[in-house]
Structures are given as C-alpha cells and as structure tokens.
Amino acid sequence: MKKIVLLLATVLGLSLVSAVPAEAHRDYKRVAYFIQWGIYGRNFHVKDMDTSGAAAKLTHINYAFGFVNADSECYSADPWADWQRPVPAEQSVDGVADEPGQALNGNLNQLKKLKAKHPGLKVLISLGGWTGSKHFSDAVLTPESRAKLAKSCIDLWLRGNLPGTPDGTGAGVFDGIDLDWEWPGSEGAPGNVIRPEDKQNFTAFVAELRSQMRAYSRRAQLTAFLPAAAAKIDAGFEVAKVFGLLDFATIQGYDLHGSWDPITGHNGNLFTDRRDPNAVKFSVDQTVRDYLSRGAPARKIVVGVPAYGQGWTGVTDPGPRGDGLWQPATGPAPGKWAAGSEDYKDLAAKPGKRYRDVRTGSLWLYDGNEFWSYDDPASLTQKALYIRLRGLGGSMMWSIDQDDSTASLTTALYRVLR
C-alpha cells in the first residue's frame, strides 16, 4: 500500500509533500455536514445519506446549525425541522412513519435511527455557522457567561432536554459538540459582535465546555471549524491551546476565492498557484502549514473539502491560455440556490470545457462566459492522498446534500481514507 500511495502522490503532483508511512495513521475522520434546512427546498433528508451509501462511508455527521444568543443560551434555529416535524414513511430511515403523539420527531429522530443502522457513526451538533455566530462574543465574555453557555448547550443537545418535550427526549442523538464561531476577533457576517478579547475568550470557553462535557460523559467529543486565512487564525485562535482541548478541528479548505472577487480563481486549490496575481495566495496546503507552524498536531487537522463550486459570469476574456483563469468577471454566475454557488451534482452535468491542473489540485469549467471552480472525485482523491501522506486527521465535506445520488465525492475520499 505504501508504494502505491507514494507512486500516486508523485503522479498527482504531491512530490513536495513529506511522505509518511501509510500504516502510521489509520484513524481517519470522514466528516460531512448535514444542513437542517435541506429538508425544505432541497428535499434532502437524513434517509438520503443512507440510500446514497454515504452514511456507511462517514465517521461523523455535523448537524448544522444550533444557535447561541446574547444571554449565553443555546437554542434551536428551527425546532420544527429538528424534532417537531412528523416524518412520513417514505422519508424515514427505517421506512416507519412518525406516529401521532410521539415526543421525538424530525431530523433528530431520523439521526437516531441512522445511528442505530450504522453503530460506528457519530453525530455532532454544530453551533453557529455564518448566520448563527452574531452573539458568540457576548455569550463567552465572562467566566459566568461561559459556564452558563456550556451548561445550556449540554442540557439542550446532549442531555436532550428539548423545549416542549419530556426531559431527555433528545438524549442519545448527539455524541458531541462542534463549534462553528465565524469568527472570533475578525469579521464574519455583517452585524456580528466582535471584540479583541474574543481570541482568549474562545480558548476559555473551549476549556469550560470541555470540562463540563467530561463531567457529562468522557466519550463526548468536542471539535471546531477553523478559518483558512492566516489573518483570521491569528486574530481569533490560540492554536496550540485550542487544539490541546479539542478531539480534532476541521479547517476551511474552500471559499479561498469566490464570486465576491473581481477576477476568477480557485474555490479550494490544494497547492498555491504560481499564476495567482493576488497579493495573498491561498491554498489548502498553505492553510495546513499555517496551523502546523502555530502548534497544531497534524493528526488533529481535518481538511475541509467542498461539494459545491464557486462561479463567475461575464468572463469574456479567456486570457493568454484560453482557460478563463484569473480573468475579470462581471459578477456571480446564476446558481440554483444562490448566485455564485452550485452543487457538485449539478456542475457535473453542466456543459462547458473542463480544465484540470494536478500541480495545484484544481479543476474548473469555462464556457466563454461562465467560470466554475469545483472539486470532482479525481481532485478529491488527490486531496485525500495529500491528507494521508501528510499524516493529517482526515476530511470534512460541506455539505453532504450537494454530493450526487451515489455519493461519488464521499466515496472518493473513503477509498483513500479508511
């Protein structure tokens, strides 16, 4: 296996990576986010993770998102989706509909059924996200508020004391907590509260939450989602201390460029592109190096990968190489769910010429007007080999509903990281 992996690494342009024995690290994490709101317009349900084959190839599902308020309390962003909606038989993991009067319904009951079918699967509640991080800074401001927030999150999501239900109704659904504060000490969504002391307060909250979680259960897991940009890392995270308290952390390996940029670029390139004209040159490898140099242990770094693409329109100048890369655009390309964004399953069928650069681990589609940067099974195989050869902790996908009906992206990662 070692010779095969090293040979593939060379073929795929990974010769600059310091190879480690393939046998040295077996406990790979294969994480995917399940979005709470996907049951609506996207019509993607917990059952779909099972029927696609994805659930059998994952170690962790992060359920996105629970929110935090300024009073240091965890709360559900959508109780109807979480535990109130009666799930019909055709959407149920075991084919059995929720019955009238049962206490636990919705996604949480389906996740419980999924875990029963896949006993090794862990499910974590993710707190925050882009739209739910506004009050994190307020909630962790003092020792008292940090203790209150930790207790609230454990009571709600781990002990399962869901509002309007008997105590413990949701117990056994979640195996831990994932912190998705975007971002301590630096700008996230407009209107987020930001303080210079967020950096130290984040560490203090992780320590408090870890302490209370250990008192609840020694097996409960604690993870966090961390940013790609070095400036955001340094503004908000005491890396060595935080990693010492976490089971592992997932790092942002996407949105390195997007339709907010005036020129096209890579959504999640593995290595730095020498053609990149930007002053700051992003790549997955650079982000990994940034965390390692700040004291993160390699085995706790789980690399985020996208199941979607970033797209630009009005890219009428193909550039000197005719591929549209690093060329001016007029704005975000039309997308099914949001401008400038499209799911892998839709991009895979989109017409246009595709370009692949194994030196940077990138793929893009260009049709003379629209430019889409995304990952496919081949590019994710390259990233998985990188993770393996670097001795990193595994992969994380945002988000599982964007993979295709046969879990092609999930499968590509699983084949290497198992």
Q: How far apart are CA 366 and CA 357, in angstroms?
A: 14
Cβ–Cβ < 8 Å for 345, 402: yes
Handedness of CA 280, 285, 287, 290 (dihedral sign): negative
Q: Is the peptide bond before 399 cis (omega within 30 degrees of 0)?
A: yes
Q: Annotated catalytic, 238?
A: no
Query: Is residue 261 classed exposed, middle or buried when 0-12, 13-18 and 19+ CB atoms within 10 A define those classes?
Result: middle
Name the catalytic one among 23, 73, 144, 182: 182
| 291: nearest Cα among 304, 277, 278, 279 | 304
Query: Token pair 């609230």 is at which residue?
Result: 152
Q: How far apart are CA 344 and CA 368, in angstroms?
A: 20
CA torsion angle 33 270 244 280 (round to 10) = -110
Cβ–Cβ < 8 Å for 124, 62: yes
The 3-state DSSP class for residue 183 equals coil
Q: How far apart are CA 269 and CA 272, in angstroms?
A: 7
- The two tokens of residue 380 are 């994710």
Q: What are phi and psi of 270, to 5 degrees?
A: -70, -45
Q: Which residues are catalytic?
A: 182
